[in-house]
Chains A and B, each alone.
Chain A
Amino acid sequence: MRAATAEAFVRSPGYWVTVLRRFARDPVAVGAAMVVLGLILMAVFAPWLAPQDPLQGMTLKRLRPPGTDGHPLGTDELGRDMLSRLIHGARISLFMGIVPVFTALVAGAAIGIVAGYAGGWTNTVLMRTMDVFFAFPSVLLAVALAGALGPGILNSIIALTLVFVPPIARVAESVTTGVRSRDYVEAAKASGAGALTIIRKHVLGNVLGPIFVYAMSLIAVCMILASGLSFLGLGVKPPMPDWGLMLNTLRTAIYTQPLLCALPGVMIFITSISFNIMTDGLRSAMDIKA
């Protein structure tokens, strides 16, 4: 009988299920999430979606305006199909937006949580080191690092990662410091939990969500920075299709085909604003504890 009641627990939805449900109630955030999903699918299936080869150009058909027969979004300065290049560009652009942020998330969260939980000297040493990086504007730091490391995708990923470690570490540290002084940490201590249990269950459980959301909001920034690096010739090399790089090379045609020049910028804009709206929705959906 008793065993039967123990088995008959009705599962109430977990924390993340509740968060998702609340997220689903926000139509704007859901719309943004759909756009993000669409962009990711577009990047994954680019070779099948793109009507033409993004690298093959025809010098006779250069800088055609959008709506040209066979090239719905026109052609670029080397006569390559813009639609195909924009679709393929999603691959490298999203990659450059997401990978550095996630690498930085792992490193920054580790540094911040250790600093926040240990406090004292450990905190001072770690966080002051982070502050040194903070002293530089992020664009300048990314450019300086990428310039020092030399152009290339890997180097710009390293540069961007280094740019994003300090802000993530700082958020992780402040969230952890807040959680550490919470009553439930003391309550866990009072019921006999050791330091490891407290970090693993009570600190990580409460800290990872907010840090993750913050990192998501950095993806858009990172994409724009990566585009900036490509624009300056420090990131992706031609002829690879990258939105930032395309913005750079099409810049010369701004007076003859302004609409065409704007297209890669429009893509960057759509992506970054979708990520931002999505993370905003996620943030408010996660705020159910109050």
Chain B
Amino acid sequence: MSATAEGPVLDIRGLRVTFTGGARPVRAVDDVSLAIARGEVVALLGESGSGKSVTLRSVLRLHPPRKTRIEGTIRVDGTDVMTLEGAALAAFRGKGASMIFQEPMLALDPVYSVGDQIVEAILRHERMSRAQARQRALEWFEHVRIPSPERRLEAYPHEMSGGMRQRAMIALALACNPKLLLADEPTTALDATVQVQILLLLRELQRELGLSMLFVTHDIGVAVEVADRIAVMYAGRIVEIGSVRDVIRTPRHPYTAGLLATRAHGGRLSGNRLPAIAGSPPDLANLPPGCAFAPRCGHAGESCMHEAPPVVAIGAGHEARCVLLKTAA
């Protein structure tokens, strides 16, 4: 339809997010570039404070403008998100890109029925009658496989189970057929059994509707389950990006390798200690001059402490930010 129909749905270039609200500016995201093709799912993998959620929220410009400095460009289906203001920004949110939140109990307003909230969201973007919007909400409820959807539309968030709420949240996010779906750890707050169901649902909906999705998670298993590509973030930067297969089977960045090693396997003998990455993530307000991971890295050399590591292409679409790869190549 649009001129850029063949281009990436999401194109982030040189994104840099600095929070200026505190005593010292905190650079939460630094030089992140990422593109998502139509129908592709990319997982942003990282621990708390690695900047994955900040990146996600930047796409919808949800950071308080007075306390945040955002540099770089973000394009969603050709629209430059950074230049949107006022009504254009409101029209973009929910329609151009929409978001699934981590904790549906908190992300749904407790005093309105779930159906009302979806209807409101639809009416914000579509010219249709309330009855038509309601009909569409009902169809989405069926789509996300909520049993007895007519009755559930009238339910309040507290009357639903956690899994059901997250399904409703997904229906709410998809209600206006957004071009890009952002998911902020959508399974973290759920029970383990429900997590699997929600992941399967998301994967199914994604295939069925050809959704493009940016999926934030700290769980490697979830990332593998849902994503086509994985981007590993550390201290605000993408340290390794590649297809799920490449990143999981042949991790090239020491951090990614370390993350994979820390996973508990079923076959592991009980009583053995799980390997861990020593140390803790750096203070974002006080980053080391060189590689942010160097203080915790077993392979770090002298140069790692002083120079920022370059991005090294390893294979097709597989890149990592590490000096070791450069010398090896």
Q: Do A and B bind each other?
A: yes
Cross-interface CB contact of B111 among A6, A120, A206, A290, cutoff 8 Å: A206
- Interface flag for A183 (CB, 8 Å): yes
Looking at B92, B110, B135, B172, the one whose CB has the most chain A CB atoms below 10 A away is B110
CA distance A5 to B138 in the complex (A): 9
User: For residues 98 through 116 of chain B, which have their beta carbon under 8 Å from a beta carbon of chain A?
Assistant: 98-99, 101-103, 106-113, 115
Partner-contacting stretch, out of A7-15, A24-32, A218-226: A7-15
Chain B residues in 8 Å Cβ range of A209: 111
The smallest C-beta distance from A106 to any residue of chain B, in angstroms, reads 20
Are A192 and B99 neighbours in the complex by a CB distance under 8 Å? Answer: no
Helix, strand, loop or mixed for chain A's interface? helix
Count B-side interface residues using an 8 Å CB cutoff.
44
B252 adjacent to chain A (CB < 8 Å) = no
CA A11 to CA B155, docked complex, whole Å: 8
Which chain B residues border A14 with CB–CB below 8 Å? 113
Q: Please give the distance in Å from A105's CB to the nearest CB on chain B.
A: 19
Main secondary structure of the interface of B (DSSP, over half): helix
Say whether A10 contacts B99, CB under 8 Å: no
**In the complex, which of the residues B93, B109, B135, B138 has the most CB atoms of chain A within 10 Å of its own CB atom?**
B109
Does B150 contact A192, Cβ atoms closer than 8 Å? Answer: no
Cβ contact within 8 Å between A193 and B109: no
Docked complex: B265-289 residues within 8 A CB-CB of A: none
A184 surroundings in chain B (CB, below 8 A): 106-110
The answer on a CB contact under 8 Å between B106 and A192 is no
Given contacts A10-B151, A189-B93, contact A205 B98 (CB under 8 A): no
Q: Which of A12, A186, A187, A201 contacts B113 (CB 8 A)?
A: A12
A194 at the interface (CB under 8 A from B): yes
Q: Is the CB of A188 within 8 A of B109?
A: yes
* Contacts A183-B101, A187-B107, A192-B125; A201 near B120 (Cβ below 8 A): yes
Q: In angstroms, how far is the closest chain B Cβ from the Cβ of A42?
A: 35
Do the beta carbons of B98 and A191 come within 8 Å of each other? yes
Contact status of A12 and B155, CB under 8 A, knowing A183-B101, A192-B90, A194-B90: yes
A192/B92 contact (C-beta < 8 A), A6-B138, A9-B154, A15-B156 known: yes
Interface residues of A in 176-199 (CB under 8 A from B): 182-184, 186-194, 197
Chain A residues with CB below 8 A from B157, complex form: 289
Which B residues lie within 8 Å of A11 (CB)? Answer: 154
Q: Does B204 contact A (CB under 8 A)?
A: no
Residues in B with CB closer than 8 Å to A194 are 87, 90
Q: How far is the CA of A10 from the CA of B149 in the complex (A)?
A: 10
Q: Which residues of B contact A186 (CB under 8 A)?
A: 62, 101, 107
Q: Are B150 and A190 in contact (CB under 8 A)?
A: no
From known contacts A189-B62, A289-B110, infer whether A12 and B154 are also in contact, taking CB-CB under 8 Å: yes
Which of chain A's residues have a CB closer than 8 A to the CB of B94?
190-192
Q: Distance in Å from the Cβ of B131 to the closest Cβ of chain A? A: 6
Q: B124: CB under 8 A from chain A?
A: yes
B93 touches A192 (CB 8 A): yes
Determine the chain A residues whose CB is within 8 A of the CB of B111 once the complex forms: 15, 205-206, 209
- Contact check, B93 vs A187: say whether CB atoms are below 8 A apart: no
Contact B124 A191 (CB under 8 A): yes
What residues of chain B lie closer than 8 Å to A288, measured between beta carbons?
158
Q: How far is the CA of A206 from the CA of B156 in the complex (A)?
A: 13
Q: Report the separation of the CA atoms of residues A74 and B121 in the bound assembly, to the nearest whole angstrom.
A: 66
Partner of A187, one of B92, B101, B110: B101
A61 at the interface (CB under 8 A from B): no
A190→B169 CA distance, assembly (Å):
12
- Does A283 touch B at the CB level, under 8 Å? no
Cα distance A15–B112 when bound, in Å? 8
- Which B residues lie within 8 Å of A2 (CB)? 135
Nearest B residue (CB) for A209: B111
Per the bound structure, the CA–CA distance linking A2 and B150 in Å amounts to 12
Chain B residues with Cβ under 8 A from A197's Cβ?
124
Whether A6 and B112, one on each chain, are in contact in the complex, defined by CB atoms closer than 8 angstroms, is no
Distance between A184 CB and nearest chain B CB, rounded to angstroms? 4
Residue A251 at the chain B interface, CB threshold 8 Å: no
Whole-angstrom CA separation of A2 from B176 in the bound complex: 20
- Contact, CB under 8 Å: B154 / A183: no
Question: Which residues 211-251 of A have a CB within 8 angstroms of B?
Answer: none
Residues of chain B within 8 A (CB-CB) of A189 are: 60, 62, 93
**Chain A CB within 8 A of B128 CB:** no
Nearest residue in B to A182 (C-beta to C-beta)?
Answer: B106
Q: Which 5 A-B pairs have the closest CB atoms?
A: A191-B94, A192-B94, A183-B106, A289-B110, A192-B93
Q: Which residues of A contact B (CB under 8 A)?
A: 2-3, 5-6, 8-12, 14-15, 18, 120, 182-184, 186-194, 197, 201-202, 205-206, 209, 288-290
B residues lining the A interface (CB < 8 Å): 60, 62, 66, 87, 90-95, 98-99, 101-103, 106-113, 115, 120-121, 124-125, 131, 134-135, 138, 150-151, 153-159, 172-173, 176
20 contacts between A and B (CB under 8 A): A5-B150, A9-B134, A9-B153, A10-B150, A12-B151, A12-B155, A12-B156, A12-B159, A14-B113, A187-B107, A189-B93, A190-B94, A190-B98, A191-B98, A191-B121, A192-B121, A192-B124, A194-B90, A205-B109, A209-B111
Besides the known contacts A9-B134, A190-B98, 6 further A-B residue pairs in the complex with CB atoms under 8 A apart:
A9-B115, A9-B153, A9-B154, A187-B108, A205-B109, A205-B111
